[in-house]
Amino acid sequence: MAKCSVCGAPAVITLRSQRRSLCSEHLIEYVESRVEKVLRKARVRGGSLILAAISGGKDSATMLAALSRLSSRMGFRVIALHIDLGIGEYSRRSREASLSLTKMLDVPLVIIDLKEAIGATIPELARGSRRPVCGVCGLVKRYVINAAAVELGASYAALGHNADDIAAYALKSFLTQDLEYIAKLGPYTESIEGLAVGRLRPLYEISEKESFVYAVVNKLPFYHEECPNVDPEQLEVQLKEHISRLEQSKPGIRLGLLKRMSKRLSEYPSVEAEAKACRHCGLLASAEECSFCRLTQRVLGKPLGLKLRNYIRFRISAIKA
Ligand code: SF4
Ligand code: ZN
Ligand code: ZN
């Protein structure tokens, strides 16, 4: 059995790109030092508030545990947000896992139940709009996360994307020449006062495998099954598999891509459009209406951004009380 390159104890993981193996204690130290590096780059400090969006899966469990440990050392605060998407058994189990995780870590949790908030689940919104379910789901999640982060006055909304995910998004953006999206794929993005809160990707330099092993050695509760709507034919799903195979033959290629890319983000084109406030809900929009208000107007007959914002305010006041 491989031994830890730092202390000689039995190793739980081998980092091939660094030609070393780590025991559980040193893996934990390694993951948290990488997360801390992102937080320092993003100028997270004492008094900052991070809203961590958790799905109930392994990556968000790892992200929340690392943030929660670093928060006591660095003096910032963390609140978790889980969105119940209404996708049958998957959503039920993900919600349970999020509750267990936040209880174990003693982190306050805000649950936004879509059916309760706007009267429709993700599958119902997708059917009503005749759009692909993942496109609708992504739009709704972005809206809810931003609305909750604005409401809390958070410095950042943290997402559990790991290095494999981000490398796949970057390659997809290059293949489709959506270069504006690459400009947003750094470890963090800036906020727009009152309209949008910056995104933070604490697992920017953590691979999927490292994230999984961290969650297992820390005995974090998480739901193992993927959403039933994951389509193996999707471009980013296939790219993730290709990158993972490439990493086997060329260890370090994935992290090398992300590190080089994050140094050159300003060289990619960025969207120049003026930031506007949606006329219905007041949050960030590229036109008169934000995409969430447009979607709900089309499917449910009314723009429901404001209704959802009020529901979020109510849920947040319950955890503050
Ligand atoms: Fe949403 Fe699609 Fe992800 Fe399922 S696979 S959680 S529907 S984005
Ligand atoms: Zn060790
Ligand atoms: Zn709106």
* pLDDT above 90 (res 316): yes
pLDDT at 170: 96
* pLDDT above 90 (res 85): yes
pLDDT at 274: 79
* pLDDT above 90 (res 319): no
Could you report the per-residue pLDDT of 177-222, keeping only the tens digit for each? Answer: 999 999 999 999 999 988 999 999 999 999 999 999 999 999 999 9
CB 54 within 8 A of CB 101: yes
- Cα of 246 from ligand 2 centre, angstroms: 28
Could you report the per-residue pLDDT of 94-148, keeping only the tens digit for each? Answer: 999 999 999 999 999 999 999 999 999 999 999 999 999 999 999 999 999 999 9
CA distance 145 to 196: 10
pLDDT at 320: 66
Close Cβ partners of 110 (under 8 Å, ≥ 6 residues apart): 79, 80, 81, 82, 148, 312, 315, 316, 319
Helices (H), 23-162: 24-41, 58-74, 88-105, 114-118, 122-129, 133-152
pLDDT at 275: 83
Could you report the per-residue pLDDT of 229-281, keeping only the tens digit for each? Answer: 999 999 999 999 999 999 999 999 999 999 999 999 999 988 767 789 999 99
* pLDDT above 90 (res 285): yes
Per DSSP, what are the bridge partners of residue 113?
84
CA distance 243 to 248: 9
User: Pocket of ligand 1, candidates 227, 236, 237, 240: which has the most ligand atoms within 8 Å of its Cβ, to mutate?
Assistant: 227
pLDDT at 63: 98
How far the first Cα of the chain sits from its last, in Å, is: 51
Could you report the per-residue pLDDT of 49-78, keeping only the tens digit for each? Answer: 999 999 999 999 999 999 999 999 999 999
pTM, whole model, 2 decimals? 0.96
CA distance 215 to 55: 14
Per DSSP, what are the bridge partners of residue 50?
78, 156
Query: How, if at all, do strands 13-15 and 49-53 pair?
Result: unpaired
CB 82 within 8 A of CB 56: yes
Q: Can you read off the two tokens belonging to residue 125?
A: 């919104």
- CB of 137 sitting under 6 A from ligand 1: yes
For residue 132, give Cα distances in angstroms to 123, 136, 234, 279.
10, 7, 12, 26
CA atoms within 13 Å, Cβ hemisphere of 314: 10
Residue with tokens 């899966």: 57
- Cα of 134 from ligand 1 centre, angstroms: 5
- Which phi-psi region, left, alpha or beta, contains residue 244 (left: φ > 0; alpha: ψ -120 to 50)? alpha
Per DSSP, what are the bridge partners of residue 277?
284
- Cα of 318 from ligand 1 centre, angstroms: 28
Per DSSP, what are the bridge partners of residue 20?
15
CB 312 within 8 A of CB 147: yes
For range 40-44, the mean pLDDT: 97
CA distance 174 to 170: 6
Close Cβ partners of 129 (under 8 Å, ≥ 6 residues apart): 136, 295, 298, 299
- CB of 133 sitting under 6 A from ligand 1: yes
- Cα of 32 from ligand 2 centre, angstroms: 14
Q: By alpha-carbon position, which residue is closest to atom 5 of ligand 1?
A: 230
